[in-house]
Structure 1
Amino acid sequence: MSQVIVMNTNMERETGRKAQVSNITAAKTVADIIRTCLGPRSMLKMLLDPMGGVVLTNDGNAILREVEVAHPAAKSMIELARTQDEEVGDGTTSVIILAGEVLAQALPYLERNIHPIVIIAAFKLALEDAIEIVDKISIPVNVNDPKEMLDLVKTSIGTKFVSRWSDMMCKLALDAVRCVAVEVDGRREVDIKRYARVEKIPGGEIEDSRVLDGVMVNKDVTHPKMRRRIENPRVILLDCPLEYKKGESQTNIEVTKESDWSRILQIEEEQIKGMCDKIIELKPDLVFTEKGVSDLAQHYFVKAGITAIRRVRKTDNNRIARAVGATIVNRVDDLKESDVGTDCGLFSVEKIGDEYFTFLTGCKNPKACTIVLRGPSKDILNEIERNLMDAMSVARNVYFNPRLSPGGGATEMAISVGLMEKSKTLEGSIQWPYKAAAEAMEVIPRTLIQNCGGNAIKILTSLRAKHATGHHSWGVDGHAGKIVDMHEYGIWEPNAVKVQTIKTAIESSCMLLRVDDIVSGLSGGRPQQGGPSPEQQEMGEGDMQPEQ
């Protein structure tokens, strides 16, 4: 169940050491919530939302979104997971665990009266050296080699619920990313949020999931006599209603005789006919509009053999435009031949379960796609979608920065050993917090070992020994809890995710260490001006504490 970390609203001001210790404790508590969610042997969390719904997941970001916290430091930790998710889409659990550990390692030095600014300077220096080490042990990857890319995406899915279907899910993720990748001004652009939509349809087998070479929308045709299957259709996309435009509130119509009524209705019909004629001139087979289509317009379309689909979402319309090569038009009068999309191979309407779905498939060069996910229940489909988004983010990151770092805690261990060596060359009080940053890096391999029930001290010692002799690709096998060479084991992570994780964790730790005063701006517990109210006097002084 969602844990609640509460900060007393009417607390005295927390200053100096007390504020720093309070922040570090809150950060460690948040890290402990999701510590068991790291690695292939990770546990699931069952979250209850305020509406009574249940979420089952081991995705760090999804868990922290649901957790309700009141402590400001805990809130900023949760913000880290969101930043990480938006930036690189993976490593949300790692970044929280790492940030919590870096702060925990700083605590003994605060207690020894080393100034926070000295600790921050040491952490900043450690961050620069850590990024150098990551770049040194990274290897380049060939983006066009499907096997290399599949192995990489498998790493992000290997720790998740869908790992049983990892080959199929990785292929879905790769196909989707390849589909939406476009070259803009000589650089690659991969917008998976806007152009790769996931449609979840309960029922069927998980193996039935697929990436369409086109788009699917949850809509049916507006009129029963319209065609439900068209090969190589000409498609028009509109952002305007095909209905009679009623006057605004200041429009007055005076009706003096009965014939005026029929004239008013006639004007309506003429206006709709004019709109439909403009569309029919371009000889389309399909018309999609984001607004409504009146009965009369449907009648004209059926006569002309045109299929119309109304009230399509704006986002779906954008995807259809990319897939079929059409342009969305705001006014019927502006329609021209170049706005018609002709890249679609087949339009069809199918009934899946109780609902009708419109498919636009066989597109020549679709720059947008729909991923159809099938599965036994809504909960499972939601978790598959979360895992698939992680996999697509990993594939996207590698397209932008085609370098890989060894996974399984190998990169963190290499950083830890490298920083330990460097700390021996530093002088003055800065070397102790620098060493603390090196020790904090070990938390990732240690957590991986603990989560699969291994002996943390024994395995970490042998892993440290491997890295000390220069074997930087050795890490932890998260299934068996023993050390393996990641080159042979084949667990790799994108360089961008690793660098972002370390940067976010250390920089946020520095920010929290800078805080030396927590002042509550809430007015709980203070009597209002003019003295307490009669109700408060009845309650007595002791009852005026705010709810915690």
Structure 2
Amino acid sequence: MSQMQGQPILVLPEGAFRTQGRDAQRSNIMAAKAMATMIRTTLGPMGMDKMMVDDLGDIIITNDGATIVDEMDVEHPAAKMVVEVAKTQDDEVGDGTTTAVVLTGELLSKAEGLLDQGIHSTLIARGYRIAGQTAQKTLEEIGQPVTLKDKAILKKIGATSMTGKSAGESREYLADVAVSAVIQVAEEGEDGKISVDLDNIQLEKKQGASITDTQLIQGVVIDKEVVHSGMPKKVENAKIALIDGAFEVKKTETDAEIQITDPNQLQAFLDQEENQLKTLVDSVVETGANVLLCQKGIEDLPQHYLAKAGVLAVRRVKESDMKKLAKATGGRIVTNIKDLTKDDLGKAKLVDERKISGDEMIFISGCKNAKAVSMLVRGGTEHVVDEVERSLHDALGVVAAAVEMGKYVSGGGAVEIELAKRIRESADSVGGREQLAVNAFAEALEIIPRTLAESAGMDAIDTLVKL
């Protein structure tokens, strides 16, 4: 009995099992390798698309690594970590998710071979860190400078991220649109560094028309319509009021009952309510505003008075859109309508309502020095529009990353070959068994050019030898 007291007793839920030691390592590595093998065929300009069908029968066709791993139903803990690698890459850069997953799988595959040789996992990890530091140093050395003025180079960077996708045939046009958007919202800090907030670039997609009908609007597009039929549908040289409050009579915080003994008293109450609402409208009109964008509701009576004053009004605009509108038009969002002044108004050359694919949309365009822009994404089918949106997301991410970092490297597997070469050269200076891990890291990098060659129908070994 005393001998059993030191033994831990594990109670696992039904269907669960426990692995440890070498078996656990093999299981984790196998899961990561399976993820990498599945997504590897999508890499490169000749990579294949994946068709995914969810439980509801909805179909997604893409070769975007982030979308593929996001749609997968993953249960294995190690595979979930690989998914997190892809998501982190997508959040930080916007592209390169497939490369990140493939490299993760190959690094673990090489580590498995070292484990089979009896090398401890701690030594492998240490060797990988040494190789990683060499790779980072090499990237800094071989990186070429790029600035906002190098539009031709930025277009090539953006187009590269879209190569092999469904929107690939229109990548030159889409890359030009993406670069223009990034340049527009880029801001230079006091230290001279460029920062790009991609939240200031709105992607609004509408099925119909051609991919090349995708356009960049120097302003904001809102998926709303004018609230009253009597209002103008088009306003030039717009002066825009951005209101966070509601055009309605405020309700009291306490319940109260009023006894009315005369019909005239009821009319007096109604007249007072009407006067309050008219006062709110007058507060807007007196500032010279001819466009009103309201985050909350606008009652029927204020709609009537606004229409009578020739003001174009839109209600229930999303908070995120309101913030973009403030950055695009230079206006200020006002909570108390009566506090609105002409200095709070934003400006735009044109505000108009257009019918796009059967839906009314509000275009606020021609904003001077707009620090928030919109891209209206078009495509023949729903699947095409979704893929174009994903392609633009990748292009915007890589162009923004290039501008912020100020450097870029060549693609096509060239940088991986150079890194592998430099890491092998540095391996001689690493003593002990870590040297084997450093060399394994270099070999793992070659999976990228090897995959590109295989996708193109070339012999992988012959291609690597030539490189």
Measured against the shorter chain, the TM-score band is over 0.9
State the SS of the aligned residue for 2:331.
coil
Paired letter, 2:314: I
Indicate the residue corresponding to 1:482 in structure 2: none
State the SS of the aligned residue for 1:176.
helix
Match of 1:287 among 287, 292, 295: 292
State the SS of the aligned residue for 1:37.
coil
- The answer to whether 1:272 aligns with 2:277 is yes
Distance 1:428 1:358 in 2: 67
Match of 1:326 among 316, 326, 331: 331
Indicate the residue corresponding to 1:418 in structure 2: 422
**RMSD in angstroms over aligned alpha carbons?**
1.8
Could you list the runs of 4 or more consecutive aligned residues of structure 1 that deviate by over 4 angstroms after TM superposition?
A: none
Distance 1:436 1:258 in 2: 94
State the SS of the aligned residue for 1:232.
strand
- The answer to whether 1:383 aligns with 2:387 is yes
Distance 1:172 1:435 in 2: 42
Distance 1:263 1:131 in 2: 77
Distance 1:337 1:304 in 2: 17
TM-score normalised according to structure 1 size? 0.80
> Where does 1:499-538 land on structure 2 (aligned, <5 Å)?
none
- The answer to whether 1:447 aligns with 2:447 is no
Distance 1:401 1:348 in 2: 38
> Where does 1:452-491 land on structure 2 (aligned, <5 Å)?
452-463=456-467
- The answer to whether 1:435 aligns with 2:433 is no
Instruction: Tell me if structure 2 keeps the 8 A contact 1:199–1:373.
Output: yes
Report which stretch shifted further, 399-408 or 271-280. 271-280
- The answer to whether 1:345 aligns with 2:346 is no
Partner deviation per Cα, 1:155-190 (whole Å, 9 max, x = no partner)? 112232212112101111011111111234444331
Distance 1:31 1:429 in 2: 27
- The answer to whether 1:133 aligns with 2:154 is no
Match of 1:221 among 222, 226, 229: 226
Decide whether aligned partners of structure 1 residues 9 and 422 sit closer, same or farther in structure 2, where only a CA change above 3 A counts.
Answer: farther
Indicate the residue corresponding to 1:14 in structure 2: 19
Distance 1:323 1:369 in 2: 7
5+ long unaligned stretches in structure 2: 1-12
- The answer to whether 1:146 aligns with 2:133 is no
Shift of 1:258: 4.7
TM-score normalised according to structure 2 size? 0.93
Partner deviation per Cα, 1:296-321 (whole Å, 9 max, x = no partner)? 10111122221211111111111221
Instruction: Tell me if structure 1 keeps the 8 A contact 2:148–2:183.
Output: no
Distance 2:144 2:177 in 1: 25
Instruction: Tell me if structure 1 keeps the 8 A contact 2:174–2:212.
Output: no
Partner deviation per Cα, 1:186-205 (whole Å, 9 max, x = no partner)? 4433112x211111121112
Instruction: Tell me if structure 2 keeps the 8 A contact 1:409–1:445.
Output: yes
Instruction: Tell me if structure 1 keeps the 8 A contact 2:146–2:403.
Output: no
Shift of 1:9: 6.7
Instruction: Tell me if structure 2 keeps the 8 A contact 1:143–1:398.
Output: no
Match of 2:302 among 297, 302, 320: 297
**Percentage of identical aligned residues:** 36
> Where does 1:103-142 land on structure 2 (aligned, <5 Å)?
103-142=108-147
- The answer to whether 1:190 aligns with 2:196 is yes
Partner deviation per Cα, 1:458-513 (whole Å, 9 max, x = no partner)? 111221xxxxxxxxxxxxxxxxxxxxxxxxxxxxxxxxxxxxxxxxxxxxxxxxxx
5+ long unaligned stretches in structure 1: 1-7, 464-548
Partner deviation per Cα, 1:490-546 (whole Å, 9 max, x = no partner)? xxxxxxxxxxxxxxxxxxxxxxxxxxxxxxxxxxxxxxxxxxxxxxxxxxxxxxxxx
State the SS of the aligned residue for 2:52.
strand
Shift of 1:142: 4.1
Shift of 1:138: 1.9
Paired letter, 1:188: I
